[in-house]
């Protein structure tokens, strides 16, 4: 039961990690620039006002809509990048973390699920449904 | 211009924040894979997954998804299921589990890095996955009640 550990494993892992980090940079940097541009141009504010009634269901500010959208459609790296760019309150970050835990990277992951034998018609409503429901519950509780 | 600059700086800081999570994580996962940790966890968690109608074979893709996520784990998960090592009934159950709860190391580390508490990251996902799978398991038993189904006997 002794753990096997050698430098080759550490090296392989580190190389993978660096490769993924470079991939992430391609998502994270454009996301934060986009959020900064949206904010600078005033578009973020109008989006925020438009989304505010919906986001209120989850006890979130209108701004948080962009975090949900980037998480659902892109991935959690884009979502966390938006969180950093928006500077949200810890309570909002916690609610978003719960909601996005259930549903994220949907375009990619639903395809993986389908190939693993679960139809999109089951998995997509399940994930989005549980995500929205958890938002309504925890948005009120927290 | 200052807006673009601000976005770029924030982006690079963000990459650094995430790199501090991803690089150590990949090293840990590499060590885990080399030590066949997943197979061990699979064996330890047999009684737990039996509650939701998953055998040891049926729970293996769930264990892979839990640690590696649906993207990095997809190769192993899909080929394991395509090899026909899991019954169609169990494929439905494990599909629901994996969809709600996966990449618990990566996703959790990521949100921890931006300041979310660890409890809200793990407990809701695991609870929802177990509850939904238990419901599906009971539903499938109820649906098959009275009909002869080798699958319901389960391993």
Tens digit of each residue's pLDDT (9 = 90 or more) over B59-73: 999 999 999 999 888
CA distance B116 to B133: 26
Residues spanned by the domain of A136: 7-141
Give the model's pLDDT for residue B1.
64
Output the six-digit token pair for A103. 């549903």
Task: Give the CA distances from residue B67 to residues A18, A46, B3, B73, in Å, rounded to whole numbers and listed in that order.
Answer: 19, 40, 38, 8
Q: Which residues of A touch B1 (CB under 8 A)?
A: none
Residue of A nearest to B69 (CA): A109
Task: Give the CA distances from residue A113 to residues A29, A124, B95, B154, in Å, rounded to whole numbers and listed in that order.
Answer: 29, 10, 7, 23
Tally the domains of chain A.
1
Give the model's pLDDT for residue B146.
63
A-B Cβ pairs (cutoff 8 Å, strict)? 190
**How many other CB atoms sit within 10 Å of the CB of residue A32?**
26
Give the closest-approach CA distance of B4 to chain A in angstroms.
6
Give the closest-approach CA distance of B54 to chain A in angstroms.
15
The radius of gyration computed from the CA coordinates of chain B, to the nearest angstrom, equals 19
Q: Which residues of B touch A5 (CB under 8 A)?
A: 31
Q: Which residues of chain B have pLDDT under 70?
A: 1, 146-155
Partner A contacted by B111 (CB < 8 A) = yes
Give the model's pLDDT for residue B147.
63
Give the model's pLDDT for residue B155.
45
Partner A contacted by B84 (CB < 8 A) = no
Give the model's pLDDT for residue B84.
92
Give the model's pLDDT for residue A123.
97
Structural domain contains residue A77: yes
Q: Which residues of chain A have pLDDT under 70?
A: 1
ipTM surpassing 0.90: no
Structural domain contains residue A1: no
How far from chain centre, in Å, is Cα A23? 16
Q: Which residues of A touch B78 (CB under 8 A)?
A: 112, 115-116
């Amino acid at each position: 039961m002794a753990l096997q550990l050698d430098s080759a494993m550490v090296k392989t892992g580190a190389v993978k990690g660096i490769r993924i980090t470079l991939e992430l940079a391609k998502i994270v940097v454009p996301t934060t620039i986009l959020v900064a541009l949206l904010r600078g141009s005033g578009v973020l504010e109008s989006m925020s006002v438009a989304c505010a009634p919906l986001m209120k269901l989850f006890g979130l500010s209108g701004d948080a809509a962009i975090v949900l959208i980037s998480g659902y459609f892109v991935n959690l790296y884009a979502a966390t990048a938006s969180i950093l760019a928006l500077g949200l309150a810890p309570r909002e970050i916690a609610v978003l973390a719960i909601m996005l835990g259930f549903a994220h990277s949907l375009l990619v992951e639903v395809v993986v699920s389908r190939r693993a034998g679960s139809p999109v018609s089951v998995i997509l409503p399940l994930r989005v449904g549980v995500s929205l429901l958890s938002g309504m519950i925890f948005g009120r509780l927290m | 211009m200052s807006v673009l600059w601000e976005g770029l700086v924030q982006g690079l800081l963000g990459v650094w924040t995430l790199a501090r999570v991803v690089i150590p994580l990949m090293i840990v996962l590499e060590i885990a894979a080399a030590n066949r940790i997943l197979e061990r966890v699979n064996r330890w968690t047999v009684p737990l997954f039996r509650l939701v109608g998953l055998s040891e074979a049926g729970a293996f893709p769930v264990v892979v998804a839990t640690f590696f996520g649906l993207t990095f784990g997809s190769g192993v998960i899909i080929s394991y299921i395509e090899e026909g090592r899991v019954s169609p009934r169990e494929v439905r159950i494990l599909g629901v589990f994996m969809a709600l709860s996966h990449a618990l190391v990566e996703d959790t580390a990521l949100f921890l890095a931006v300041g979310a508490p660890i409890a809200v990251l793990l407990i809701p996902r695991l609870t929802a996955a177990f509850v939904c799978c238990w419901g599906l398991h009971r539903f499938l038993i109820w649906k098959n009640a009275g009909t002869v189904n080798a699958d319901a006997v389960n391993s």
